[in-house]
A and B are shown apart, each in its own frame.
Chain A
Amino acid sequence: GENVEQHPSTLSVQEGDSAVIKCTYSDSASNYFPWYKQELGKGPQLIIDIRSNVGEKKDQRIAVTLNKTAKHFSLHITETQPEDSAVYFCAASYDFGNEKLTFGTGTRLTIIP
């Protein structure tokens, strides 16, 4: 089955700086890679996703890059703000039908004002 590794487990950055979270996956058949943000006591919120037919996707301050050859993908947050503080999870699945997601272990991001 699929295995997703996520690094770092914790990350602290100064407000206004950039944050990068990296994930690797094991199953080359995976072709859908979403990122979720989870605030304390709440459910995960889908913030951006990418499919294997593209290498990069941006949405305002958030971007995701995908390297299928190396089987890794990354989340980039620029101009970080205090409200970006949360736990971020990457995931991978096969984008066909209703395939289940395999999650990474999460990254606790803290933005220092």
Chain B
Amino acid sequence: GAVVSQHPSWVICKSGTSVKIECRSLDFQATTMFWYRQFPKQSLMLMATSNEGSKATYEQGVEKDKFLINHASLTLSTLTVTSAHPEDSSFYICSAIKPAGVNEQYFGPGTRLTVT
């Protein structure tokens, strides 16, 4: 199998606080994970590529100081939304590449963030 989990599945926080979202590959090791953001009825927007043991690579327009990514192990990547504001409210989804010589990405179930 190729199971990716995310925690929490949903979170509500107040403006100005920080929120951490965890992404775990449960049955395989992933040297690369990706973080996406999805607005209602829209496609997935890639935020950053997370590589184990190195700094994340952010897509153009994504503030790296606001969206902190840490890929500390081969099964865990975290996304921290710092000083959250209502406009950060969104559905955040991670994915992980299963290393089998092919580029298959498996997605987590997503985290619904609401900033009040």
Partner-binding segment picked from A13-21, A62-70, A91-99? A91-99
Are B107 and A100 neighbours in the complex by a CB distance under 8 Å?
Answer: no
**B97 and A43 form a contact (CB under 8 A):** no
Total residues of chain A contacting the partner, CB 8 A: 26
* Nearest residue, chain B, Cβ from A102: B46
A95 contact from B34, B49, B103, B107, Cβ within 8 A: B103
Nearest chain A CB to B38's CB is how many angstroms away? 9
Residue A29 is within 8 A (CB to CB) of chain B in the complex: no
| Chain B min CB distance to A93 (Å) | 6
Residues A9-55 near B (CB distance < 8 A) = 32, 34, 36, 41-46, 49, 51
Q: Report A99 CB to chain B, min CB distance, Å.
A: 6
Chain B 25-64 against A: per-residue CB contact (8 Å), 1 yes, 0 no? 0000001101000000111101001010000000000000
Taking a contact as CB atoms under 8 Å apart, the answer to whether B43 and A32 are in contact is no
> Can you sample 16 A-B contacts with CB below 8 Å?
A34-B105, A36-B107, A43-B6, A43-B93, A43-B95, A43-B109, A44-B107, A46-B104, A46-B105, A46-B107, A49-B104, A89-B43, A100-B46, A100-B49, A105-B43, A108-B41
By a beta-carbon cutoff of 8 Å, the part of chain A in contact with chain B is: 32, 34, 36, 41-46, 49, 51, 89, 93-101, 103-106, 108
